[in-house]
Every structure is written in structure tokens, then in C-alpha cells.
Amino acid sequence: MKNKFIAGIIIGVLATVTFGFVEYQNIYFKINKNMDIFGRVYKEIVSNYVDEVDPEKFMRSGIDGMLETLDPYTVFIGEKEGDDLDLITHGQYGGIGVSIGVRDGSIIVVAPMEGYSAQKQGVRAGDRLIEIDGEKISSSNPDSVRSKVRGEPGTTVRIKIEREGEAQPLEFVLVREEIQINNVTYSGYVKEGIGYIKLERFSRRAGDEVRQAIKELKASGELKGIILDLRDNPGGLLEAAVEIVSKFVPNGSTVVTTRGRKDDEKIYSANEEPLVSDIPLAVLINKNSASASEIVAGAVQDLDRGILIGTRSFGKGLVQTILPLSYNTSMKITTARYYTPSGRSIQEIDYLHKNKDGVFLTTPDSLKHEYKTSRGRIVKDFGGVMPDSIVLEHERSTFYQELMRKAMFFKFATRYVTKHPPLQEKKNVAVDEPLIKEFEEYVQTQKFEYRDDVEKKLAEVKESLTKEHYSSAALESIDALNVQLNKEKINGITRHENEIREELEEELNARYSGEKGRIKTSLQFDTQVQTATGLLLNKKEYEKKLKLKK
């Protein structure tokens, strides 16, 4: 009997091994078969198609087409895109230190980066790029312009710009340097005792930068609470996220778990003694907080280490690995899903399944599972991380959005700085009534026009009235209302003065004090930051948010 039982086990094991081997052979047969077909198609088209086909472009189209059937995070990285890879992983690239963008159909310097060649030699925000190394540039391809100014550190690039107030173009010879992109773009106190850290990305140095920011906050005041701002942070390296959580939670705490295709599980734990283990913590998130941002937010919530404030996060619970390929190319491939300490996945979209209309599937609320934080609070999976305190971002008016879209604030600031050149010392700009009036006059000279939502709806109503053959009196009443609206529109700056004042103050302070000046100015108008500050200063309310509801 015993021998029969052992024989049964051996037969079972052999069957499993045999099945596994057959399946393995079957997969590799399919791979070899389809690679052969793909290669033949490629060769035939490149060799015999009626028109000449670029072999590299054609192959790239094939690779991109295959990868498009997967999730949007699995991508091929070509030889010329190596700088982007360095930017993702190390937060660095070779360049002159400028951010560029398109304004009014021109390539404009949006902001020179402090301490690098462009800023040191006098390039300003608002300068219009017209030539790079003697070659005229086109506004239709800003990525091409970026690739021209980037390059090997130590090499030079000659740029020609047009500047408001200057009769002739200006020429600069700039030296490319190794540009380090800061993960922490601002840190400081927003109120007595409440420190604020703005984290914009997760490259390899993110953990060190957060550690340094915390140390500086401790050294410059009595730290009673910390706001960690992850809004609009698209993520980055998983390891960097673990490092950041480690600054706040007990050593050894599970931060995140990943599971791949073959159920191989890897647990990432806090790997150092926390810098601030008991200081109240608020993490700000919004719909653009994704990936590594959600790892941090999910861990802080599941471990009941702090409160989350803002709006629901993006919902990206997939892990990518960068695999080196031949000829200096590589591929970023999704290799695992990640799970927060409570065991939930926050991935929202199922990229392998679509509904009948071709739209990717999401999990309805009724099918979401409940998990518990360390104190027993209920949290749910799928669909991002839901904050403990929902605070909506201020909704901007159509008038404001149109001013932004047509770069009115940006262009006014450029003109203002021309009239009031930056001094050696940085200065703070407060927007008063005369400055508002000056902006209003500038907007009028630019012949700024826009249609707001009310006008659009009235146009739709008039069209419907005409279609249904309503009387001329009814149509005239719509026209009369439009006339009244146009009179009111002239006073748009007065009606929306608060949000216009805020944007002007941010833009002007950015010109005199750089990006840090912009962020510092914005905090005084930020509802979510003010809410977080109030909760951190109110110990009873803070603890109440973290307690299990009975």
C-alpha cells in the first residue's frame, strides 16, 4: 500500500513536469514560428515594396504596433532616446538648463534653471528662440529643439534669441553641463511649526533629497507637522518610493509588495530608522498623482502613519522594469503588479480587456474588495487611492482658462520684467490695484477675445429656436441678452480679480525668484495646503481622522 502511494506521488510529479515541459516547448515553438513569419514579412517589404522603405522606421513601426496591444507603459526606447532614460532613472541629462514651450506659435524659454549655463549667461524666461547653431528652428517640433540643445556635457551650443525691448536678436554661446533635475523642488515652513515638502518626481536621488529637506526643516524651527505634496507627481522608481516611506514609518514595516506573472512575490520594507516617526504627517494627492506617488500614499494610509488630503489618485498599480537590448536600445516593460501593505491593488484600468465599444474595462464600485489599515479602517482596491479628507481643487473660470491658454499672464510678465529688470537680490512682488489695472490695459492691447460657456449655450438655444421656427421676438430676446453679456464681459478682470491676482503674483515671483518663488507664492492661495495645515495643528481632529469609526 505504501509503495503504491509513493508510486502515485512519483507519477503525479512526472505528469506535472511532463506537462510543464510540453507547455514550455509549445510556447517556444510559437515564438520561433512567428518570429520567422515576422522576419520574412519585414524582409519582403523592405526589399520588394514598390516604393523605398526606411528599414529602421519600418521596424520601429512594427515594434510600436506590437507594444500598443499591451499597456501604455510598455515601450521601446531607441538609441536616440537614451537621455530620456537617464532622466527617468537618475534625474539628469546633458544640456544648457532651460525649460522650453510653445507660446503664440514660437518656441519660448519658459524658465531658465538656476545655476546652469543659460541662467548664468543671462537667458531669460520669455526669450524667443530663433536659431540653434546657425539653423533656424520651427515651432512645430519642440522635441527637436530640445534634442538640439541637449548633448554631451562640456560641448558648446550657439543660440540666437529675440527679446522684448531689444531691437536686435541676442546671441549666446552656452556650455552644456550635466543637469540635475531636483526631485524636491521646494521645502520650507508654511506656518509656524508646519513644514512643507514639494516632491515632483522619483529618481534615484529622491530619498536623499527628502532626507535633506527634513533635516533642514528640523534645523530651522520646531517641526510640529509635515505636508508632503505629491500632487501632479507622475511617479518614477519604486525603490525611491520605498526610501521616502522609510523616513516616516518604523524600520521593517512593509511598504509595498510586487507580484509578477509567475506569482513570484517580492516584499519591500522600510530599511532605515525613521527621521520623523511620530510627527503628524499629511500627504497631498490628486488625479495626476500616479505610480510611485501612489505607493507612498497607499503605504502612509494603510500603516495609519498620516492623513491623505485632496482628490482620488490616478490608479496605476503596475511595475515596469528597464531591460537593455542590443545597439544601445532598451525596453521598459511591465513585469508585475504592486500591492499596498493591506494587500490591495490600486490599478484602475484593465488594459487587456475592452467592452463592445473598444473602451478599456474598469472595476465597478460594487465589485471592489474591502481591506483594513493597521488600525482597522476600511479601504478599497482598484481605482487609485482615495484620500481620508476630500478637498477639491479650486475650479477656474472660463475667462481665466482662456487667459492662460493665450499666454496672457506669461507675456505680461515678460513685458513687466523688461520694464523692471531683476536686481542682484531676489525680491517679492505683491500684486496691487495699479498692477491689476496695468494687466487689464495690456490684455486690451492684445485684442483678447473669448467665448464663455454662457455664450456657447445661448448660441445653441438660438439655433434650436430657429430650427423650431420660433418668433422673431424670441430670437431678438436672445440677441439682447448677448449684448448685455458682452457689456459684462468687459469687466471680466474685475469679476475674476482674485484668481487673476493669484496667477499674476505667481508668474511675477517666478521671474524674480525662480520656480521656488512661484511655489512659495502659490502656497498662500492653496486651499488643500491650508486644510492640511489646519488638520496638523489640530491634534484632536488629526487623531480623529486616523481612528476606526465605531
Give the catalytic positions in this structure.
291, 302, 316
> Grid coordinates representing 109?
524659454
Whether 189 and 217 have beta carbons less than 8 Å apart is answered as yes
Whether 336 and 319 have beta carbons less than 8 Å apart is answered as yes
Chain-centroid distance of CA 42 in Å reads 37
d(CA 362, CA 43): 40
Helices (H) and strands (E) in the chain, counts: 17, 23
Q: How many other CB atoms are there within 10 angstroms of residue 358's CB atom?
A: 6
Whether 153 and 176 have beta carbons less than 8 Å apart is answered as yes
Three-class secondary structure of residue 74 per DSSP: coil
Report the sign of the C-alpha dihedral through residues 237, 238, 239, 245, in that order.
positive
Task: Give the angle subtended at the CA of 383 by the CAs of 377 and 386, to the nearest 5°.
Answer: 40
Pairing verdict, β 330-339 and 254-260 = antiparallel
Q: Give backbone dihedrals phi and psi of 179, rounded to 5 degrees, phi first.
A: -90, 120
Residue type, position 77, single letter: I
Q: Which residues pair with 159 in a beta bridge?
A: 132, 172
Task: Tell me the H-state helices in 203-312.
Answer: 206-220, 238-246, 292-302
Q: Which residues pair with 178 in a beta bridge?
A: 94
d(CA 187, CA 189): 7
Angle, helix 206-220 to helix 238-246, in steps of 10 degrees: 20
d(CA 508, CA 518): 8
d(CA 512, CA 424): 10
Distances (CA, A) of 296 to 1, 104, 251, 441: 56, 39, 15, 46
> Grid coordinates representing 331?
525596453
Who's near 485: CB < 8 A, 6+ residues apart? Answer: 454, 455, 458
What ranges make up the beta strands (E) of 192-312?
194-199, 225-229, 254-260, 265-269, 281-285, 307-310
188-219 b/e with 16+ CB inside 10 Å = b? bebbebbbbbbbbbbbbbbbebbbebbeebee
